[in-house]
Amino acid sequence: MALQIPVPKVFAIPITLASAHGLMDLHRSTRDLAPYLALFLPLPARLNGCIFSMFIAASCFHFQADAGARVSIGGHVLFVVAFMTGGAALPLAWSAFTAFYTLVHARRRAQMWYALAPRHARMATAAGAISALAVSLAPMKHFALTRRAQVLVICHALIEAHSVRATQENSGNGSSHRSRVQSGNV
């Protein structure tokens, strides 16, 4: 059984729009995009649990920058429990996730990228808006966060973690984060 996460359409629309912040990874240097090569690897069924576990771990790590480790881990634990048990808790979990993802996580990333690379940020926002419109017009009631999409999230989290680490290591040498982003050396 594949661990696909069904996303109700009402939540998939804003999540799709907010997910456009990931397109800003394309503004980074080609070398930094190497984790995305994992998208081309075969995903045998025996890796389902591993991919899902790595997805949750990468997501926890990625969101801890916005909310702190305790809040990120606690939120993920509550979401996984709601997902696994279903019932009335699941719409509440989706509501909380969507609010955090759109209003905190993606908003912070958008503000940073609009300051550093406004042209690319506008293109990513337009792509997100077009994608969200397509989701809103689609006849489905649910969308699936597939294993491949989970690998995409893992890659994005790895790239951003590497970028943050590189920025911290280089902060003492006088080069600014803005100049590194503009040159593609993030």
Task: pLDDT tens for the chain, 186 residues: list them.
Answer: 457 889 999 999 999 999 999 999 998 889 999 999 999 999 998 998 899 999 999 999 999 999 999 999 999 999 989 988 888 889 999 999 999 999 999 999 999 999 999 999 999 999 999 999 999 999 999 999 999 999 999 999 999 888 776 666 666 554 444 554 444 444
Q: For 31, what's the count of Cα atoms within 13 Å in the CB-facing half-sphere?
A: 6
Token pair of 119 as six digits = 């042209």
Torsion (CA) 82, 65, 10, 125 in degrees, nearest 10: -160
Token pair of 43 as six digits = 């995903």
The Cα–Cα gap between 23 and 156 comes to: 9
| pLDDT value of position 180 | 46
pTM reported for the whole predicted model: 0.83
| pLDDT value of position 171 | 60
The Cα–Cα gap between 123 and 47 comes to: 35
| pLDDT value of position 104 | 95
Domain region containing 44:
5-183
The Cα–Cα gap between 88 and 93 comes to: 9
| pLDDT value of position 42 | 93
The Cα–Cα gap between 186 and 169 comes to: 12
Give the number of domains in the chain.
1
| pLDDT value of position 2 | 55
Amino acid identity at 63: F
Longest CA pairwise span in the chain (Å) = 53
The Cα–Cα gap between 64 and 72 comes to: 5
| 174 DSSP 8-state letter | T
Three-state DSSP class for 44?
Answer: coil
Q: 168-174 long-range contacts, Cβ below 8 Å, gap at least 24? A: none
